[in-house]
Amino acid sequence: MTSGPAHSINPLVADVGSPPIPEAQAWTRRYDGSYGPLINLSQAVPGNAPHPELLERMAAIAGSPTGSQYGPINGDAPLKEAYAAELSRIYEGRIEPDDTAVTAGCNMAFFAAMMLLAHRGEAVLLPTPWYFNHQMSLDMLGIEPRPLPCRAENGFVPRIEDAEALIDDKVRAIVLVTPNNPTGAVYPAHMIESFAQLCRRRGIYLVIDETYRDFLPQGMNRPHGLFTGDNWRDTIIQLYSFSKSYAIPGHRTGAITADAQLIEQIAKILDCIQICPPRTAQGALPWAIDGLRDWREDNRAEINRRAQVFQDALAPLPEWTIESVGAYFAYLRHPFPERQAQRVAEKLATERGVLCLPGSYFGPGQERHLRVAIANVGADVLNGLTERFRNLSL
């Protein structure tokens, strides 16, 4: 009797760890309910339902023959047109529909961008703590995820001088994620623009993931000035997700923005891994981009309010230090310096019924931290965290 498969598989895949969120969710099966219902703060899931009219429009599209057919590789024209117009409005620049491609979620957008820019043996600078799917994707592609340290004393914002020191002839791109997953940190516009200048000077690409752009602090409407001129086309690839902004993560709709010539190359990749992006959300989003602007602003205000509620809930517990908080996430320093982050997170889940993710899931040097997805639940639930965190012992 054999103990495993007869043939080996690609070691680049075999050597990557299993998806971490299911591993963490398994801890909750040992929670006995003694502190009340489970509070799941592990994954960035919109805490509100999609707008009723958006649901109605998607239902009509899903039930139509057209919605069941293949569409264009790079996405349906009405969505590309509406999205390019929205980008041009937000960033005060000129972005054309042909400068965009719709993808089956932002993870696919990242995967396609990395496949385009680098190959096995080359490297990409990835800010740490990093989003684990980014690191997993690079590992499976044989591309080195070279850590670009983001430190608490700098607000978890990467520094130009650190990046410059890490660039060698293997590096093909720098990735920035703002607002950041996992820390919630919002990168200042001048810093983002300085990174673009660095990439232009060194002949590499800047890939900026703005999945959580629509949850910036109130009053911060233009995240950066990268698109105000035309020279962005030589350097910039932007990634976005409709999932959080419209509360439709199950419909897997993201986007890539780059110069049209790059988008033509990306289409080769997308044709092989998605054929076309899902049609249901694509058919409704052109209306939603304009029609749900006020609704999105209300959600933005609510998410920012929840961030404040979370801070207030932990204020009586100074041993738990919120080192960064922003759109969707807080990055929390736990009070057990001799304990691994996974042990702390597991204890919170199994004894207190609060599921967050250990910092060790997010790259090297993160054992003192937990990531908390604060957007998943209402303010009333977040208010109850004080007693759940109080007097935890390991």
**In the predicted model, what is the mean pLDDT of residues 264-275?**
97
Q: Specify the pLDDT at position 2.
A: 46
Average pLDDT, the chain: 94
Residue 287 in this model has a pLDDT that exceeds 80: yes
Q: Report the percent of the chain where pLDDT is more than 70.
A: 98
Residue 5 in this model has a pLDDT that exceeds 70: no
Question: Amino acid letter at 373?
Answer: A
Q: List, for residues 137-182, the tens digit of each pLDDT value.
A: 999 999 999 999 999 999 999 999 999 999 999 999 999 999 999 9
- Per CATH, the number for 11-49+295-389 is 3.90.1150.10
Q: List, for residues 62-107, the tens digit of each pLDDT value.
A: 999 988 999 999 999 999 999 999 999 999 999 999 999 999 999 9
With contact defined as beta carbons under 8 Å apart, do 148 and 162 qualify?
A: yes
Question: Amino acid letter at 322?
Answer: I
Fold of 53-292: Aspartate Aminotransferase; domain 2 (3.40.640)
Q: Specify the pLDDT at position 122.
A: 98
Q: Specify the pLDDT at position 4.
A: 56
Q: Is pLDDT larger for residue 9 or for residue 44?
A: 9
Q: Report the percent of the chain where pLDDT is more than 90.
A: 88
Sequence spans of domains, the chain: 11-49+295-389, 53-292
Q: Specify the pLDDT at position 384.
A: 92
Q: Specify the pLDDT at position 327.
A: 78
Residue 3 in this model has a pLDDT that exceeds 80: no
Confidence bin at 377 (pLDDT 50/70/90): confident
Contacts of 56 (CB under 8 A, 6+ apart): none
Q: Specify the pLDDT at position 221.
A: 80
Same fold, 11-49+295-389 and 53-292: no
Cβ neighbours, 10 Å, residue 335: 16
